[in-house]
Amino acid sequence: MEFFLGVDGGQSGTTAIIGNELGRILGRGEGGPCNHASEAEGRAKLERAVGESVGAACQQAGLEYATVSFRSACFGMSGGPDDKESILAGLLRTNRLVVTHDAATALAGATGAGQGIVLIAGTGSIAYGRNAAGRTARAGGWGHIFGDEAGAFDIARQATRAALRMEEGWGPQTALRHSLLAVTGARNANQALHCFYSPEWPRSRVATLATLVGAAAEEGDAVALQILDRAAQELAFLAAAVRGQLWTAGELVEVAYVGGVFQEPRLLERFRLLTEFEEGNRCHAPNHGPAEGALLEAYRSEGLNPEVP
């Protein structure tokens, strides 16, 4: 039996899947985040996340992580592959190692032939597309300082800004202030803000507060509704930017959405409405997740195209 490995390495966690040459899934494992590896702490985090996720997948598959050899392994990495490939090469045995960015593997799993556009909105955000000629394009994905519009961290940031504006008297009333204080235990919004600069509140944890916006929106909070509507519009803009680079007007394009942000019904509904307003776009949930997409890319690198459940 031959073994193939697909790994989705993200800002919030790492997922590994092992399959055989027939496309049967043998094992799955989870690990911590591994999006940056340029410094010593980041490298240790990457090694730990890969060890945890691939090790757990091997255990479920009845394999020994220390001795198993893969015919092909594909890693889709948040933050890009440049600072990770040499590290990953030393962590496992494989005849072929493919290291790419997580948007490419997300697209590989999301659409039927790995063609079309995928919108990823998890902690951060990016749009990525590939057409039938193999040309690719992206929009967004600039990181939390310069971009990641409509990702969970950005939504939580907009909620915090709204709470601060309300508190300082230059923004409308919003239930988001009370929600943020309740979660952080802070006395006021300014103190909550300072919590988010502390080690106890890393970016991944702040991003979880995006759910507070969805809850407030369900209760009719006008500010929360505005945050979600703006987020949906920004994600639709990213999809339109990629479409404009790769397809002509009216061409049929699959647009798939991936990530926890799309679990918010209002945001998803508005995103689909705005995306399908463009003639030819067909918006749908992903066929497979990013880790399955990485596994499919591992198969394709060896000229195989098995059916993955």
Instruction: Answer yes or no: do 147 and 71 share one domain.
Output: no
pLDDT, position 39: 58
Nearest to 78 by CA among 19, 15, 131: 15
SS3 string of 38-95? Answer: CCHHHHHHHHHHHHHHHHHHHHHHCCCCCCCEECEEEEEECCCCCCCHHHHHCCCEEC
Query: CA–CA separation, 17 vs 57, rounded Å?
Result: 6
pLDDT in tens, 220-251: 999 999 999 999 999 999 999 999 999 999 99
Yes or no: say if 54 and 28 are a contact pair by the CB < 8 Å rule: no
Q: Is 173 exposed, middle or buried (0-12, 13-18, 19+ CB in 10 A)?
A: exposed
Full domain range(s) for residue 168: 115-285
Read off the pLDDT of each residue in 75-102 and give the average, rounded to a whole number.
86
> Encoding tokens for residue 233?
């519009």
Residue type at 80 in one-letter notation: G
Contact 276/58 with Cβ under 8 angstroms?
A: no
Local structure of residue 124 (DSSP, 8 states): S
Q: Work out the mean pLDDT of the chain and round it to a whole number.
A: 92
Residue 201 is assigned to a structural domain of this protein? yes
DSSP state of 8: E
Q: Would you state the structure tokens that stand for residue 92, as one six-digit string?
A: 């496992």
The helices-and-strands tally (H runs, E runs) of the chain is 11, 12
Q: What is the CATH number of the domain that holds 9?
A: 3.30.420.40
The verdict on 142 and 267 lying in the same domain is yes
User: What pLDDT was estimated at residue 37?
Assistant: 54
Amino acid at 12: S
SS3 113: coil
pLDDT band at 147 (very low <50, low <70, confident <90, very high): confident
Same structural domain for residues 127 and 215?
Answer: yes
Here the tokens at position 153 are 């961290």
In a domain, 9, yes or no: yes
How many domains does the structure of the chain reveal?
2
Taking every pair of Cα atoms in the chain, the longest distance, rounded to a whole number of angstroms, is 67
Is 237 inside a domain boundary? Answer: yes
pTM of the model: 0.83
